[in-house]
Every structure is written in C-alpha cells, then in structure tokens.
Amino acid sequence: MGEHNNPVPVVAIVVAAGSGSRLGAAVPKALVPVAGVPLVTRAIERLAEGGVGEVIVVVPAAEREAFVEVLASAPVPVIWVDGGAERQDSVANGLAALPDLDEADAEGQVVLVHDAARAFVPAEVVARVIEAVRAGADAVVPAVPVSDTVRELTDTGSVVVDRARLRAVQTPQGFRRGLLEDAHAALYETRMTVTDDAAAAEYIGCDVVLVEGSRDAFKVTDPFDLVVAEAIAARGEPA
C-alpha cells in the first residue's frame, strides 16, 4: 500500500446493462422495482453495508438518465459507465473506468464484481468476500449447494451428477484489482468468453476460493423470481 491518509476504498463494479429479456419488463431489469425500490438501488445498498466504498455502475447507454435519477441518493459515490454487448464486455468497461491510483495502491485494491440482478445479497456475504481477498485469496466466489438432483446430458441420454460436489456460483466476486485487470486483458487478447469473473481469473492461472453464499443472493432472472423477490422484501433481513 502506498503512503496516504485514507485507506483505498473497496470498489464494486455493478453490472446493470442487461435488458432482462427473460424477465420481460418494460424497463431494463436493474430498474425494476421490488416493493417500490429498484433492483440496482437495493444491490448498491447491500454492497455499501458490506464494506464497499465506491461503485462503478454499468448501464445501458440509452437509459443512463433513468439510472442517475434512481441512484441520486446512493450511499456511496457512483461512477457511470456504458455497458457492452455481453456481461463480460460490461465488466471490462467497468474496469476501464476504475479511478487512477498510484501503482502499489491500484495493484492491491479490492475490486468486487456484482450483478445488479442479485439485489438481495446479504451484507454479510459482501463482507465475507472482501475479507477473503484481504486475507490473500486471488479470486473469491460466494457459492451455495445445489438442492436439486442434477443430470448431465450426454450424446446418448443423460447421467446423474454427484450433487455433493456441485456449487452454484453467485456474486459479488472479489479480486485484487491488478489481477482482475490482467485476467480481462487476457480474455480480450484471445477472444475467450466466460460467464463469470472467477473463470476469467482462472484463465490466467489463479486459484478460486469459495466462501459461503446465500440463497437471498439469487439472480432475479424471470417473472417467478420477482415473486420470490417481493417475498424477501416483505420478510426483511435474513435471520
């Protein structure tokens, strides 16, 4: 860490540039309200509560004004960035907008990547991810056991998979900034695509550490999920 009075804040790249085609709402998914509060607002509140000091919010370019309006009273400073065609592109745009720091601070800064769609992530999960990065992990992923029996399709039919060895991957995922920048640069160079940032880190040889996630951190994807989201909002904080 370089010389300074203030510690380097934990920054979160909140990807909110998806359209939410499976949800089918009239507005981008991240702006959809649950109990009157948009998903992106909820996500940022949870991140701030868990220890994030600054957010880069990646939004559909044409909708930026609407996002600025709903986040006018965000609990942490917001940097705005336009999204890309795929989630991976949106994360890369977010990374490119990270504030300048001196080299040592930038290398060690904790960067989280979070889906706005995982709006109900408990603050404890956010804090757990940050703590694991600070403790030295390369790439940190909150994950939960899989409750269904799972079958994998084969050329001839399907086979059952040992679910005790499966974990469903959530966000926020945590990294040291330098490492995540290197990972996305490598993906860009080789035109490789991944569906999460831990896979990007793995692509450049990093180990992925799993920490306990939460069912509350589920990704709002289709209309059924909105019913669950409303129920969680009505229930309040997890016990």
Ligand X SMILES: C[C@](O)(CO)[C@H](O)COP(=O)(O)O
Ligand Y SMILES: Nc1ccn([C@@H]2O[C@H](COP(=O)(O)OP(=O)(O)OP(=O)(O)O)[C@@H](O)[C@H]2O)c(=O)n1
User: Which residues of the shown chain bind ligand X in the complex (CB under 6 A)?
Assistant: 87, 115, 169-171, 195-196, 219
Among residues 32, 48, 58, 71, which is the contact residue for ligand Y, using CB under 6 A? 58
Residues 6+ apart with CB under 8 A from 120: 42, 46, 216, 217, 218, 229, 232, 233
Quote the least distance from Cβ 86 to ligand X, whole Å: 8
Per-position x/- string for 113-152, each x denoting binding to ligand Y as judged by CB under 6 A, each - no binding: --xxx-----------------------------------
Question: Position 46: which residue type?
Answer: R
Cβ burial, residue 84 (10 Å; 0-12/13-18/19+): middle
Cβ-based nearer residue to ligand X, 109 or 170: 170
List all residues 6 or more positions away from 172 whose beta carbon is below 8 Å from its beta carbon: 12, 47, 112, 113, 114, 118, 121, 125, 126, 129, 142
Give residues 60-119 in contact with ligand Y (rule: CB under 6 A): 83-87, 90, 115-117
Report the partner that residue 21 touches, choosing among ligand X, ligand Y, none (CB closer than 5 to 8 A by kind).
ligand Y
- With CB cut-offs between 5 and 8 Å by kind, which of ligand X, ligand Y, none does residue 169 bind? ligand X
For the packed helices 87-96 and 177-190, what is the interaxial angle rounded to 10 degrees? 130
**Can you give the binding site for ligand Y, defined by CB under 6 A?**
15-22, 29-30, 58, 83-87, 90, 115-117, 219, 221
